[in-house]
Chain A
Amino acid sequence: ILNVEQSPQSLHVQEGDSTNFTCSFPSSNFYALHWYRWETAKSPEALFVMTLNGDEKKKGRISATLNTKEGYSYLYIKGSQPEDSATYLCAFHTGGFKTIFGAGTRLFVKA
């Protein structure tokens, strides 16, 4: 059974703190990993698509790294802002249409 684990489940930080969380996935049959940002009552929004071992992607204050050999990806947020509060989902693709999502890390940023 393919399983995607995200940790921590939730995280409370102060505005200005930098933070990171982890997505662990099977190291075999890897095709791609997606990170999504999901604000309450809104649609999940794609942040990054990562396909190659060693990939590093950056979008503003948010960046992500990928290690397909050991089966993990890190998402980093530098200088967290209240508007970063959301659930961050990772999704593991094996090349078919089914995608396995993690349970998400719920981030709360306090002003």
Chain B
Amino acid sequence: EAQVTQNPRYLITVTGKKLTVTCSQNMNHEYMSWYRQDPGLGLRQIYYSMNVEVTDKGDVPEGYKVSRKEKRNFPLILESPSPNQTSLYFCASSLMVGFGYTFGSGTRLTVV
């Protein structure tokens, strides 16, 4: 089944403890992206990747890192999480930029 898989689905962590949210797609898509969704602010792009080893900042990149060492994986790294990063996170992929997006199931992160 063609899909974007995110893990974990739910995570509660403490301020400052490094964490990684994984994202993997099995559709051989070139383009991948991370979004966060917050009440009243909608969905905002954090980082995107046009292809392996090509990443760039979105609208809200502060406090996040990404890497794209393989085409299928695009992990989101929070080196020192803070409570303002409590949010619902989505990974998405598409064949190329400009094509239809497939979203993962989301990761609900709480930083206390």
- Say whether A associates with B: no
**A residues touching B (Cβ–Cβ < 8 Å)?**
none
